[in-house]
Amino acid sequence: MIEEFKTFIAVVDFKNFTKAAEYLNLSQPSVSTHIKNLEITFGVTLINRSVKQKTISITESGYTLYKRAKEIINLLDITFLDVKTLSSSVKGSIKIGASLTIGEYILPKFLADFSIKYPDVDIEVIIENTSIISRELKKMKLDIGLIEGSASSALFKQEYFLEDEMVLVVPFDSDLKNKELNIDSLQDRRWIAREEGSGTREYLDLFFTQHKIIPKSMMILGSNLSVKEAVRNNLGLTITSRHVISEAEARNELASIKLNNDFTRSFSYIYPKELTLSKAANIFLEELKAYTSKPNS
């Protein structure tokens, strides 16, 4: 039944029997037989087929089996690796989704140390905003998510590993620099923001709501670097992580203004509660927590 599960997963992923057959290096009749065997075994229709339109749609039962089949295949892969690598060496692969602040400013230095210590662990990092990472984790397309703030679903196990301070960022020559925060002086200004779904954007929206700020204009940019550069070039103000602007501030390119405790957040890792992490993934998390607990991490 394992081969049938793999075939079914491919058909759902591609939404096409022919593409699934090519991906699995099987004939199309073999793919159809695998799906039919599963439907007979479970006594339900998993895929509706439209002969005229040459399209397929996955039934509710089909999506339930798809999720369970991915969990079973994942557990088998983990079991195989754990049994094979019972020695002291750690081997395997980990697919990680990291939100932009973590992926751009925390992970690079950590991965440099980790890869030296565990050279046989292959790591793939996908950098996206928090909402996309959560969505991909639900689909079991990632092993671990490293996000800003809280998980959007009770389906995830979550643990915090690093505190982060959000600050108001202004150009280095701004009239706001070296002054106490004056909300009235922030009205009718141009602002730079990340896209909806970003953890950083949530804090900017919170700041506007708390202080009833009405921006003169809002520029939406899709990365921390572009936001930082926009502020540096006097295009507006923003609120972002101190991790993002620390080096630019040290070079006198930007200035920051401290905010209240509502703007302290936590970075956390998440993964589906039903997912059994591999040995390599568990060690990755242990090393990450140890690394980020050090001063100046």
Q: Which CATH superfamily is domain 88-162+266-292 in?
A: Periplasmic binding protein-like II (3.40.190.10)
Strand partners, 247: none
Spatial distance between the Cα atoms of 224 and 183, rounded to a whole number of angstroms: 24
What region, left, alpha or beta, does residue 233 occupy, with left being phi > 0 and alpha being psi -120 to 50 degrees? alpha
Q: Tell me which residue of 172, 115, 145 sits closest to 287, measured CA to CA.
A: 115
pLDDT (tens digit per residue) in 90-139: 788 999 999 988 999 999 999 999 999 899 899 999 999 888 898 899 88
Q: CA angle 9-158-200, nearest 5°? A: 95
CATH of 2-82, one of 1.10.1760.20, 1.25.40.10, 3.40.50.720, 1.10.10.10: 1.10.10.10
Identify the pLDDT of residue 177.
85
The strand pair at 217-220 and 121-127 is best described as: unpaired
DSSP string for residues in 41-78? HHTS--EEEETTTTEEEE-HHHHHHHHHHHHHHHHHHH
Spatial distance between the Cα atoms of 182 and 179, rounded to a whole number of angstroms: 8
83 alpha carbon, distance to own chain's centre: 29
| Regions of the chain with pLDDT less than 70 | 51-53, 84-89, 149, 151-152, 295-297
Identify the pLDDT of residue 88.
53
Write down the domain spans for the chain.
2-82, 88-162+266-292, 165-263
Domain 88-162+266-292 shares a fold with domain 165-263: yes
Spatial distance between the Cα atoms of 187 and 15, rounded to a whole number of angstroms: 50
Contacts of 89 (CB under 8 A, 6+ apart): 120
Identify the pLDDT of residue 92.
87
Could you tell me if 171 and 234 are in contact, meaning their C-beta atoms sit under 8 angstroms apart?
A: yes
Identify the pLDDT of residue 85.
61
Provide, rounded to the nearest whole percent, the portion of the chain with pLDDT above 90. Answer: 58
Dihedral (CA of 169, 173, 177, 178) sign: positive
Could you tell me if 134 and 151 are in contact, meaning their C-beta atoms sit under 8 angstroms apart?
A: yes
Among all chains, which residue has been given the structure tokens 């708390």?
A: 210
Tokens of 255: 């200035």
Tokens of 286: 């242990």
Identify the pLDDT of residue 297.
60
Spatial distance between the Cα atoms of 275 and 247, rounded to a whole number of angstroms: 38
CB atoms within 10 A of CB 289: 14
The topology under which CATH files domain 165-263 is: D-Maltodextrin-Binding Protein; domain 2 (3.40.190)
Identify the pLDDT of residue 180.
80
